[in-house]
A and B are shown apart, each in its own frame.
Chain A
Amino acid sequence: MMPAMGEEGERSELEQELNLFTPLLLTTDENFAPGHRACIGCGEALAVRHVCKALGTNVIVVNATGCIEIFSSLLPQTSWRMPWIHTLFENVGAVVSGVESAYKARIRKGKIPDRGVKFVGIAGDGGTTDIGLQALSGALERGHNILYCCFDNEAYMNTGIQRSSSTPYGAWTTTAPVGKRSIGQMTWKKNMPEIVVAHRIPYVATACPSYPLDLMEKVQKGLETEGPAYLHILSVCPTGWRCAPEETIELGRLAVETGVFPLYEVINGEYRMSVDFSVLRPVGDYLRRQGRFRHLTEKDVDRIQARVEEDYSKLREKTGAN
């Protein structure tokens, strides 16, 4: 388990030393090349960079339409140093199933050698929780040997900040605008990791690039898993969240520390908190930093606080912590 964030004094000396030493072990290879066209401060681009470091290059990446695909593949250039394919918005689960099956069949038939190639599907929250949900569910249910990463920036940012089912309650978006009769998003964020857990696949985890070592470790675990693995990565979007681009890392941390986006793993059905807090920071610390929540009243914030606490407590119960 990662050391909990908080006062430096709470960590042992050994932990502090490890925290300084471990990054030195990371590869300096950039498998996701710089020079892409993401917005300034894009948490998603950062997350993809970390994920690609952990993936290495013996992988095939299948990408849904969305921000990542757009900012990384503008013809005639590409940021991908591993084989990469994009076809459509809603079919990553199916395409990656096809790629994996092709390798399986061709290796079995002796047409190609088995070099241990891994298969990774990546999509945004729209491509995962909305339009791509069916294809993903099919791939998980069939048990393909794949890792699926959802980069969740909590709205359709590529098309201009429209709400998705992953947009949090109370957030302003262009299709859930704030008005006399609306506080923006009127529904609660779909709990996608739990939907994936219900498929009883061997590995499910949440992650955030504000915790890069944890993120990379989870990518590696997902890759090593026999069968489907799913990673849900909170990706701060300064453009859509209406926050300063230099606050990306801090907001990711605040999302975790307030319990809004807890980091945890579900390994063969066993829940484990990656970072745990006995006392959560108030959600206001997270919400007030973002323009998309600036219209919320104290009452709205209280409602969100209650929901976050309830969800966090339920999650901890599953880990056996309560």
Chain B
Amino acid sequence: MANADVISAYPITPQTHIVERLAEMIADGELDAEFICVESEHSAMSACVGASAAGARVFTCSAGQGLELMHEVLYIPSSMRLPVVAVAANRALSGPLSVWCDHSDAMALRDIGWIQIFAENNQQAFDLTVCAYRMAEDQDVLFPAMVHIDGFYLSHVIEDMELPDEADVADFIPDYEHPFVLDPERPVSMGCYAPPFIYLEAKMAQEVAFEATKPKILEVWKAFGETFGRSYEPVETYRMDGARTALLTMGSISESAMLAIDELRSEGKEVGLIRLRLWRPFPFAKFRQAVKNLDCLVVLDRAISYGMGGPVCGEVKAALYDKRKDLSIVSFIAGIGGRDITLDEFKYMINRGEEKAKMVALGEELEPEIIGVRE
């Protein structure tokens, strides 16, 4: 529906059927685009970069190992200010080989300089991809954007969703013109070589421009809400009224976590849920606002940073360091390699988190706890 000009992708579970369907649409004449069936994910992203530099609207999607193989290329569109849009069907990384979901691949992409957004269900996956184009192609943004959807949990689930009118989507993301494209009428050199006297300035410019995308991201979500009736926020909360303890999640597990929150609330516990939607640029102010009244924050990671713990927890602690010394932050790791997280496990994490918070408050250092390991 985004009417991409060039799609370039390589098969990998659990992403493949997204591009299969796009290929069918092109084959049936429903979508007028060039589909480049490349020989690797590295080439998929490279072809997207070339096409985007030539002014095309592009799309690709990948997962797990594929994202790792294209890792090197992912830094290129962000440094060249090319609005490539990609969907990542999050998958565990080898070894052992696993096609199932966790966020190891996403966490390895933290520093690529893309706008990164997490979806919780298929409606959001659709909406946020549409929004990603409008964000990326904004003349004041011109950065690539990636929508993370949990492999299988979202990529392979069939659920009802509201598909907006194609014309309305076209109005929301009209054709865009990049100010600098590869065009013999106006020759430019892109991707030049920078020695130390100028590299730092180039990187500083990139960081300043990336930080400046935050208000534009908010504008796009606001405009989307006004047009289509569904609004999104960088940090979203659930039943936080009066909560002293909250669980922090990303991606599809947020919806299961809501059920756990409901049950705990019905038991009389004052707990809530914080869902981190915008991962990059990190929404510091919005996040601090969300945890303002908390005594205890339980962070659930779907990835392991070996020798360090949960990567999201590490970032959250950094975001709050010096700001909220009174807030106890407890780390849990679960849902690795497609292991389901049960309702009881969510409840355990919150209850156990509160107990641990008291120990943290007393100055004890606690290791992150990995949930659901079979004895």
Where the two chains meet, the residues of A that have a C-beta atom closer than 8 Å to any C-beta of B are 57-60, 62, 69-70, 73-76, 78, 80-88, 90-91, 93-106, 108-109, 111-112, 115, 117, 134-135, 137-138, 141-142
Contact = CB atoms under 8 A, between A and B. Distances in A.
B51 A99 contact: yes
A101 B76 contact: no
30 contacts: A57-B184, A59-B184, A73-B191, A74-B192, A75-B194, A80-B187, A83-B188, A84-B188, A84-B189, A85-B182, A86-B192, A87-B46, A87-B76, A88-B73, A90-B42, A91-B43, A94-B43, A98-B56, A98-B58, A100-B50, A101-B36, A101-B50, A102-B5, A102-B55, A105-B5, A105-B33, A111-B175, A134-B43, A135-B42, A138-B38
B202 A98 contact: no
Contacts of A104: 34
Interface in B185-235: 185-195, 198, 202
B5 A57 contact: no
B50 A70 contact: no
A94 B76 contact: no
Contacts of A101: 6, 8, 34, 36, 47, 50-51, 56
A141 B39 CA distance: 10
B260 interface: no
Interface centre among B8, B50, B186 (most CB of A within 10 A): B50
Nearest to A144: B36
A57 B191 contact: no
Contacts of A134: 39-40, 43
B93 interface: no
B85 interface: no
B300 interface: no
A102 B56 CA distance: 5
A99 B54 contact: yes
B360 interface: no
Given A98-B51, A104-B34, A83 B183 contact: yes
B53 interface: yes
A59 B52 CA distance: 17
Contact of A99 (B40, B42, B43, B50): B50
Interface string B1-45: 000011010000000000000000000000011101111101110
A99 B5 contact: no
Interface in B49-66: 49-56, 58
B72 interface: yes
Contact of B193 (A75, A97, A102): A75
Contacts of A100: 50
B247 interface: no
A98 B191 contact: no
